[in-house]
Structure 1
Amino acid sequence: MDGARLDQFDRKILSLLQADGRLTNNDLSERVNLSPSQCSRRRQRLEDDGFIKGYRAVLDRDRLGFPLVNVISVTLATHNRDNAQRFADLVAKLPEVQEAHALTGEMDYILKVVTPDLKSLADFVNGVLLPHEAVQHVKTAIVLQTLKETSALPL
């Protein structure tokens, strides 16, 4: 099943669950005008078909000691499959990296990295990224203000 074959009830269920993954089938039932058992079957199908990848709590980054958000662009030393895989393996092991995207254009990758302070950021860049064999160049920007941050899809 692809996104084009979802009906209005499926889309409404998905929209409600992405806003609050703790909604029960009874809660969904009241909001989408289907019975709880129909909501349960639909939710299960949406999970089984991979539209819902999981449920998680959204944690408060500041309260947990990670107030700095950093955007780091990375250029690889050489552009081949092995080097790209070495970099991907490195990024996969780094809990500070919240997002990593391969890009077209001037930079090869962009990372969203959280750190508790400037020293931790410097240690991360100078002690982890720059010494890695796959990395040639790193450019760091510190986020001053977040205007919007969401993982919600525009359903």
Structure 2
Amino acid sequence: MRQMKLDNFDRQLLNLVQADSSQTTERLAEQVALSPSAIQRRLRRLREQGVIVRETALVEPKEVGRPSFFVVSLQVERERPELLMQLRKWLEAEPRIQQAFYVTGEADFVLVVTAPDTETYDALMSRLVSENPNVSRFTTNVALGIVKRGLTIPVPLASENSD
């Protein structure tokens, strides 16, 4: 699929809906200086073209039992494509794994995992290792606090320099 050409209206809209996707088209129209129907058409096109992949809610951890967050560095024994694909599918399917990155360096994957407690985390990691024999080692960092959390991708306006 070709990369979609974004104009400044699209870019403004993407920044606004990333900050708060619950805004009405009327509110977005006020901020972008387009009509609500134009906003609706643009949002539909951005979704259809795969620019907006999914809209989700950011939940306050304290309000749902203060789950713990773990940052995990995962190493595999062999980087054979079929073994990596099996591991990727397993990681994608596991709801407690919020993010998974295939990386360079010491680790092969870096994961962000959430669990209500360390016992639940330990059980998850035991299952990961037993169901994925290609995983050779993992190290865990326990988050002591949240400084920043989000998935926003800064979308510079055409007149701005890219970061």
TM-score with structure 2 setting the length: 0.84
**Segments ≥4 residues shifted beyond 6 Å:** none
- Once residues 21 and 44 of structure 2 are traced to their aligned partners in structure 1, the CA distance between those partners, rounded to angstroms, is 13
Deviations 1:80-119 (A, max 9, x none): 1122122112212211101111111211111111011121
- Runs of 5+ unmatched residues, structure 2: 156-163
| Residue 42, structure 1, aligned to residue 42, structure 2 | yes
Q: Which residue of 2 aligns with 1:153?
A: 153
Higher relative contact order (CA 8 A, sep 6+): 2
Farther off after superposition, 52-61 or 104-113: 52-61
- Runs of 5+ unmatched residues, structure 1: none
- What are the residue-to-residue correspondences of 1:42-81 with 2, within 5 Å? 42-81=42-81
Count how many residue pairs are aligned between Structure 1 and Structure 2.
153
Q: Which residue of 1 aligns with 2:129?
A: 130
| Residue 91, structure 1, aligned to residue 91, structure 2 | yes
- Once residues 43 and 95 of structure 1 are traced to their aligned partners in structure 2, the CA distance between those partners, rounded to angstroms, is 28
Letter in 1 for 2:53: K
Identity of aligned residues (%): 30
TM-score with structure 1 setting the length: 0.88
RMSD of equivalent CA atoms: 1.8
- Once residues 150 and 119 of structure 2 are traced to their aligned partners in structure 1, the CA distance between those partners, rounded to angstroms, is 27
Q: Which residue of 2 aligns with 1:116?
A: 116
Contact between 1:66 and 1:114, CA under 8 Å: does it hold in 2? no
| Residue 16, structure 1, aligned to residue 16, structure 2 | yes
- What are the residue-to-residue correspondences of 1:2-13 with 2, within 5 Å? 2=3, 5-13=5-13
Contact between 1:86 and 1:134, CA under 8 Å: does it hold in 2? no
